Structure 1
Amino acid sequence: MEALSISTLIVALAEIGDKTQLLALLLAARFRQPWPIVFGILVATVANHALAAAVGAWVSAQVPADIMRWVLGLSFLAIAAWTLVPDKMDDEDSGFYRYGAFGATLVLFFLAEIGDKTQVATVALAAQYSDTLMVIAGTTIGMLLANVPVVILGHFAADRLPLGIIRAVAASLFAVMGLYVLIA
């Protein structure tokens, strides 16, 4: 349960204000069909984070425990710093809109998550915890917790969130996790 709860909390907080959350808002405004967008986010996140977790599990099996501890600790500290940097929307390819709400969301979310801090966090969490299924479930739940309200409530929810405070809390959690790994 620790892998699930930590993964959910870290990704949910890290995702606030992220480019994929901005993408969720854009898709909600464009299509006005919340459920196909939510399902697209779900499928894209499961696929992307399953690949990331597999990489994390493979790395943890290949790298000696002492070195892995340092790599993980420093990775979490780097993600903490990265989380403090506000994200902005990259140029989206509106050509994907022809696939409809679900298809556009699936493709755009999968691509937007490649190399994103939540994907990197998923790699690190899967390397930290042996239960990769719980990490995938947790990071996916975290992604949904952050993005579904944006899709359903649109700009009303996004405009009222204190993004600076949420980024600081997420960065603090990553930093605590990094220090815990380094000290423990």
Structure 2
Amino acid sequence: MSDGAQSKAFEPLKIAVLTVSDSRSIADDRSGDALQQRLEAAGHLLAARELVPDDIYRLRAVVSAWIADMAVQVVLVTGGTGVTGRDSTPEALTPLFDRHIEGFGELFRWLSFEEIGASTIQSRCTAGVANGTLVFALPGSTGACRTAWDRILASQLDARTKPCNFVSLIPRMRETAPSR
């Protein structure tokens, strides 16, 4: 890990993965597979995994159930962050956020620019804290999921990352969440 000296112990998180797609099934969900493989390889636990069509209310229902579950600490959503008519992930999630994490989308697009150039402008990936749970919305491409995990999430979801990481904040986010 390149983000500083490691003095804390690794703390496995319980992470749920949701794929948003009208054209895929769990059997051919490469982006969800990539996220599951990466989070488990890092030592985290898969709390749940589902796939829903691009439907704002079905997506919101699944994420709402997960953020209400104290066992789920992080939710990763892949898909539905583009600009077409059916892409509704940001619209589904942002009303659930108690706090927005603007830097996630900004950093993702900056890193993605190195890989796909100006096409990254079409990504509306976003993140926030909802009921004390971290929620990250990633593009649906497998490459984008790899970029987000490998270059942002892996370190920020690792308690050993210095000078700071999200893991150290989770207990404080949960004690001040509106309904927790």
Q: TM-score range by the shorter chain?
A: under 0.3
TM-score of the superposition, structure 1-length normalised?
A: 0.25
Q: Greater strand share, 1 or 2? A: 2
TM-score of the superposition, structure 2-length normalised?
A: 0.25
**Which of 1 and 2 has higher RCO (CA within 8 Å, sep 6+)?**
1
Q: Greater helix share, 1 or 2? A: 1
